[in-house]
Chain A
Amino acid sequence: MSGVRYYDIRHVQGQSTHIDIDNGVCESAASSFFDHAVIRALSRNGWGILTVDNFQEMGKGEIESLVSRAAAIASICSEDVSLAGPERGSRDVPPMGEDPRDVSLGEKTAILLDLEHSARIPGIINTRVNYIERFEKVVFQDSTGYENHYEICRSGFGIMAVAARNGTLQMGYERRHTIRGLNIRHQQDLAREAAGRAVSLLDARPARGGTMRAVLDPELAGVFAHEAVGHASEADLIQEGNSVLAGRIGEQIGSGVVTIIDDPSLYEFGFEPFDAEGSATGRTEIISRGILANYLHSRETLAAVGNGRAGHARAMAGEPPLVRMSNTFIEAGESTSDEILAECRNGILLKGSRGGQVDPGRGVFQFNAEYGYLIEKGECTTMVRDVSLSGEILKTLFSIRLCGNEVKMHQGYCGKGGQSVPVSDGAPHILLDHAVVGGSGDS
């Protein structure tokens, strides 16, 4: 393996189970099997990377040949790469309450059929439940002889209810995903909540677009932290010159009430015992009381850019690692929800999320609330639907006036570079001055 300065291999094998219940019909309840590996070799020219299936069956000789081939294809590269560290280490995977593998596919299907049925309230014309369970066994090894491994099971469900009246359709949606074991029992209230919201949304008005005060609930404020700050702090983008946060460490970029963290070592849905490069994971304070403090890093970006710690490299099974968020949240402040509504006085309360997107180089982001309420004289009044917000990273953080005193986390998946990884986002309620709200209504 001449010319190889370093190599590592991340091998992920496991089983995924997917159950789809649609309008009382079990459309599918199926398990699939996977075995993917990524071999990265660092040569004098840069990274050569191979991705292969069925690594389990390969012998020592084949592995050596894969490393050599990875190094050989790096001959087209021309980057002198340095790696920081390594800081090795691992956190235990927390125990599960009820191991999903101990419950038969048949029993899970029966529980989900009942859950889906609970959303059938008057006005609802379609209900659907999706369940996903993914068990992964991850083995990491590198050219120094270091090896580590873990096993983790992520599972959860989403429930959707569709309400219809006179050709108008609206939906309510709830999802819960976890690393703490089977979570589908006793969730009927959540199903009814999704259904109730779908029916209420039939009477909601489209929001009027414009600039106004907005209160974001913890789920939406978490998405805001993810889109407005998290992506732009990923140091691969900093290194490429594709983020408005480049060169601003130590600069006040937001109001003093704002502290934003990413922490893959937390026992939330984005938990990683160690990252995709075998680095120990831990807390990174991205923004500390309004001041840009750190970036999120891999070993390579830490060496090239500085400011922060490695341990934020993540990857889908069979894909090369990228700098990613994990569990991202705005830290709690001191205000109660009532104080925030009173302080807003006139504006809009926005709840739930269908996600968002950011252009980090331009510093502009967009994210979407499922629904909300007008706030008039400090009270929630008319329900509104389909409200998006957009903003500029370097301006919007100054408009956060208050942070609530209770953080809640919500689970989802984040896309980058064609890879989707499990994340959680969270925040307390927050009050924004000057929020740019998109909407075509006149309410």
Chain B
Amino acid sequence: MRWWAVVEILEDILKAGSRSAGEVEVYLVEGRSVSAELKRTVVSKSIGSRHVSLSIRTITSGRIGTSSTSNPADWRRCLEAAVASGKLATPQAWNGLPDPGPLGGVDLSYDPALDPQPAAARQMLEAMVEGASRHPVQVTAGSASMSVGSVTLVNSNGVRYSRNQSLVSASLEAIRENSTGYEFDTSCSCDFDPALIGERAGFLAASSVNGKDIPTGTYDVILSPLAAAQLISAVLVPALSGRNVHAGRSRLAGSLGMQVADTAISVYDDPLLPRGLGSTRWDAEGIPTRKIPFIQDGILGKFAYDLKTAYRYGAESTGSAVHSGSDGLPAIGHHNLVIEGPETDLMDEPGLYVQDVVGAHTANPLSGDFSVELTNPFRVRAGAYESPVRKAMLSGNVFDLLFRTTGLGRDRRTIGSLIIPSIRLKDQHIIGV
């Protein structure tokens, strides 16, 4: 089915849906991508992809129904399933889908010049291999991908929003003996140097060889942006969801206005950030997005709400609805979650630098307790890596970590939907030998 035909049927769905439901919303995502993969230093796979996904939500007397399909031409079956689903949902307080607003402007997360082509993906792979070759390592795997697409949201109140988006990502894995290194980057355009990704992966693998054991004890730890993002995503992010707060699944419930982190730490969603990977002027339900200060100078200021949760608990949507899965449901999330504070040099004092952690997803999201294995840990001193550590675990609690920071690094970067610097922590429990 051609693209313009797909757009035309959105109006048909709204028309047909309005006959069987009080309100109708349609969310359409389409796009194309190319990617290429390395096996050692050889380009081994070239992948082209086209995808489309249509989600329908209906609301009748506070009963919300949903469905989705990968075939827009099959929208009648999808609409029928959404209406049927609404009949089973428990009715809730509902004050309507949003009306249209003046939300135009240039696309925030889109490079119109990006044209996904296999040859460009190959060039990125070659540049990463060249970067890694500056170190005595073997490349084991790598990938490069580029995608462009669009998101369209329409509803029966007259909302007709559309935006383009693009994404470029590259990653490389390297090994020396049994020491591994991994690095990656993502952007909405080809504005990063793939050779630097390769160089960093090679450096991590090469310089972690011959690690020494470390005694069990208490250490000052510097979490890289990647390591910090893994722990924060596993525990802090779900605790900021209004739904989890009201359901009794967040340790931060009841802490609004209270100090939940060191005064140097601020955490906010910045949906309007130019070139942010999650940037958008409207959320997945058509609510205008804005900066949401979750934690300001250590004080908990807000939780994230979508419309459904906001109506149910008498709160206001924070424009935090995102389409995360394929089941047709918008859910509470964030767009570009920024962790911010005064930045300083973190490696001047002795400490243990941690590039990544193994098993962050096994952290207890309710209590915040975690124990993870460390990847590429180094002892640091006087601003530099001193010596690699062979193997160690870090045990602690994510909510407590937020009170043990002694500085944020100058290396803030994008890790998935987070924008986060490295974080220095005092008195952390390390299990070595």
Contacts and interface: CB of A to CB of B under 8 A. Distances in A.
Contacts of B121: 76
Given A73-B46, A358-B358, A169 B178 contact: no
A359 interface: yes
Contact of B85 (A28, A128, A368): A28
Nearest to A15: B81
Interface string B345-376: 00000000000001101101011011111010
B292 interface: no
A168 B371 contact: no
Contacts of A69: 48
Contact of B70 (A53, A76, A356, A387): A53
Contact of A209 (B39, B141, B216, B359): B216
B81 A30 contact: yes
A79 B141 contact: no
B44 A367 contact: no
Which of B65, B119, B249 is the most central at the interface, judged by chain A CB atoms within 10 Å of its CB?
A: B249
B122 A50 contact: no
A192 to B, nearest CB: 19
Contact of B327 (A16, A74, A162): A16
Nearest to B329: A28
B46 A167 contact: no
Interface string A69-105: 1100111111101000000000000000000000001
A50 B49 contact: yes
A361 B205 CA distance: 10
Nearest to B181: A361
Which of A29, A47, A70 is the most central at the interface, judged by chain B CB atoms within 10 Å of its CB?
A: A29
Given A51-B49, A76-B36, A440-B395, A125 B69 contact: no
Given A76-B118, A388-B359, A438-B395, A125 B248 contact: yes
B168 to A, nearest CB: 16
A154 interface: no
Interface stretch (A239-247, A249-257, A261-269): A239-247
Interface in A296-315: none
B371 A18 contact: no
A162 B249 contact: yes
Contacts of A25: 90, 92
For the side of the interface on B, what is the size category?
A: 35 or more
A36 B52 CA distance: 10
Nearest to B179: A362
Contacts of B391: 364, 390, 392
A394 B118 CA distance: 39
B328 interface: yes
A390 B71 contact: no
Interface string B19-31: 0000000000000
A70 B391 CA distance: 44
A49 B393 CA distance: 40
B350 to A, nearest CB: 22
Contact of A49 (B47, B88, B358, B395): B47
Contacts of A4: none
A385 interface: yes
A121 interface: no
Contacts of A46: 42-46
Contacts of A126: 247-249
A277 to B, nearest CB: 14
Nearest to B246: A23
A158 to B, nearest CB: 14
A30 B331 CA distance: 14
B67 interface: yes
Contacts of A386: 364, 367, 369-371
A136 B188 CA distance: 34
Given A79-B43, A126-B247, A210-B431, A73 B141 contact: no
Contact of A33 (B68, B175, B361): B68
A368 B248 contact: no
A388 B88 contact: no
Contacts of A440: 369, 371, 395-397, 429
B88 A109 contact: yes
A436 interface: yes
B45 A18 contact: no
Contacts of B393: 209, 366, 388, 390, 436, 438
Interface in A331-376: 354-359, 361-368
A170 B358 CA distance: 23
B138 interface: yes
A414 interface: no
A325 to B, nearest CB: 18
A240 B45 contact: no
A34 B359 contact: no
A34 B40 CA distance: 35
A52 interface: yes
Contact of B361 (A49, A170, A355, A363): A355
Contacts of A122: none
A76 B359 contact: no
A49 B145 CA distance: 14
Contacts of B366: 162, 169-171
Which of B64, B65, B70, B140 is the most central at the interface, judged by chain A CB atoms within 10 Å of its CB?
A: B70
A168 B431 contact: no
Given A51-B50, A53-B71, A79 B44 contact: yes
Interface in B90-119: 90, 92, 118-119
16 contacts: A28-B66, A33-B71, A33-B78, A33-B81, A51-B51, A57-B71, A73-B46, A162-B248, A162-B366, A169-B367, A240-B173, A241-B140, A357-B358, A366-B393, A436-B393, A438-B371
Interface of B: 1, 34, 36, 39-40, 42-52, 64-71, 73-74, 77-78, 81-82, 84-85, 87-90, 92, 118-119, 121-122, 138, 140-141, 173, 175, 178-180, 216, 247-249, 251, 254, 326-329, 358-359, 361-362, 364, 366-367, 369-373, 375, 391, 393-397, 429, 431, 433
Interface of A: 16, 18, 22-36, 46-54, 56-57, 69-70, 73-79, 81, 105-106, 109, 125-126, 128, 162, 164, 167-171, 206, 209-211, 236-237, 239-242, 244, 318, 320, 354-359, 361-368, 385-388, 390, 392, 436-440
Given A49-B46, A162-B366, A390-B359, 17 more contacts: A30-B66, A30-B81, A30-B82, A32-B326, A33-B70, A47-B45, A54-B52, A75-B118, A76-B43, A76-B119, A77-B42, A211-B433, A320-B45, A357-B361, A362-B178, A388-B370, A439-B431
- List of 4 A-B pairs having minimum Cβ-Cβ separation, nearest first: A438-B371, A368-B362, A388-B371, A366-B359
